[in-house]
Every structure is written in structure tokens, then in C-alpha cells.
Homo-oligomer: A and B are copies of this chain.
Amino acid sequence: MNHSQLHHTPDATHTPCAAHEVHEIHGTHCSAKDKEQKKQATRQQALCVSHVPIFRSLSYESQVQIEHLVHHKHVQREDVILSPHDAKGMLIVENGQVRVTRYTTDGKEHLQTVLGSGDHVGESWLFGHSNDDTFIIADKSSDVCFITAENFHNLLVRMPDLSFQLLKATVYANNQLQRQNSYLTRTRVKDRVMAYLSDLSVGKENGIIAVPVSWKDIATFLGTTAETISRTISALASERRIEKIDNSHYRILKSRA
């Protein structure tokens, strides 16, 4: 089953949009401003693949070659982009935002990750793994492109540097998953939430974080419920471990728990 979530390569040397945000639910994605710049660039070059970190370092010829294999698609909010057992391949978010979810047998939606511009998902489908339970759904109006497993696999074999770039991205995704695991293996929800918030705050000098998605989504991400998240946040606030700024911003007061 399943697939992989991908994000910006964390240590790419010259990605225009900063990518050192630490593992959020989000694949770290670019600021609105960056997106604007990219959008304009697209219009000029007409190369969607140039947005994508793993392709950016390839030669222009290679990029043109890849562009020919790509299927573009514009999707609206809540459109189902991919269902289990659909055609296999890799999905790339040109711009916008999509959610990768899994439905449990009791019908609940479990958020796996949210992808932003330049993020991609489906590496594992390139290697023959099947998708039994993963849906990809547009979070907002977005442009996405799709490369079939077969085509992409051929690319990988023919373009060594692409393997390296994709490896880098996959290793990064791996880190994110590892990190999520480190939250989830804590038995206390309070510990999970605190660890999650602490990680969100690394690199922000004032310790202020913007909560990226709804409580409900964070809840499924952390293996609990929205109500428990709500209560836990209150508890953390009254323990002076975090401080509420407004509805979506918090300051993290003690990183180490």
C-alpha cells in the first residue's frame, strides 16, 4: 500500500523558496510571494517541471523532455485527484495545496500530509507498490501534474542525476515520517502535542508558530481527537509551556519537555 510524502529537498543549494521549515504536517512550501514569482516564470517558460526542486537542477533539455511526459490538470477544492487503485505514477503539485489522506475501515479520514507548491507524492508507486487506501484531494484550487510510473521509471534510469535528486527528497521525506513517528510513539497526548509544537518552532527566533491546519487535522496527524487537542492546548497554556497569541498563532515557551 501507500506512497510517500515529499517535500522540498531540505538542503538544496539554490532553491528560490526557503525550505528549512522543520517538518510540519505541510510539506514545507513556498510563501505566497514565491508562488507569484514562480507563476510568472511559468508563463514565460511554459515548463511546469522547473518549479519542482527535484527537476530544477537538470539541464533544460532534460526538463523539456520531462515536460512532454507530464499530464497537467487544474483541480478545484475538494476534487479527488487520485483514488486507490488508480493509475500509478507520481503526482506533483505545481501550485496550490492538496491533502493526502487515508480512510480507515470505519470511514474516518486520516490526514497523512499536506502538499504545497513543488511537493510531490508517489515515489513508492514508481517501484511497484500498490495503493490500497490513499486518496489525494485538492485543498484549494490547484494545478497539478502527473507522470505515469512507467514514464517516470524510464526517466530515472536514463537520468542519473534525477535519481540523486529524488533520493535527496525521499531521504528528507523519510525524516519527516521519522519525526511524526517520534511524536506518535509517546503514550501521552500532551507529550505528542508539545513535541509537535516544539518542532514547529525551531528556527523561529521569537518562538511564535502559525498552526498550519485545523485541530481536527492535527488530531488525526497525532493519533488523537480534536477535543483532546483542544483540551491539551489549554492545559499547556495554563502550565505556561505555550502562550496563545491568536486563534492560529502560539508562542512556544519551553522547547524541551
Contacts and interface: CB of A to CB of B under 8 A. Distances in A.
Contacts of A102: 182
Interface string A128-140: 1100000000000
Nearest to A223: B185
A169 B224 CA distance: 31
Nearest to A123: B171
A170 interface: yes
A105 interface: yes
A166 interface: yes
A129 B175 contact: yes
Chain A at the B interface: mostly helix, strand, loop or mixed? helix
Contacts of A161: 160
Contacts of A126: 171
Contact of A223 (B10, B187, B221): B187
Interface residues of A, number: 50
A184 interface: yes
Interface in A75-104: 102, 104
| Integer count of this chain's copies in the complex | 2
Given A164-B157, A184-B181, A174 B123 contact: yes
A177 interface: yes
Interface in A196-231: 220-225
Given A170-B167, A184-B184, A186-B223, A4 B124 contact: no
Given A174-B174, A224-B187, A112 B4 contact: no
A110 B195 CA distance: 15
Nearest to A129: B175
A157 B124 CA distance: 22
Given A11-B128, A179-B1, A174 B170 contact: yes
20 contacts: A1-B175, A2-B178, A3-B178, A11-B127, A110-B182, A110-B185, A123-B171, A124-B174, A124-B178, A127-B172, A156-B167, A160-B163, A163-B163, A163-B167, A166-B167, A167-B167, A173-B174, A174-B174, A177-B178, A186-B223
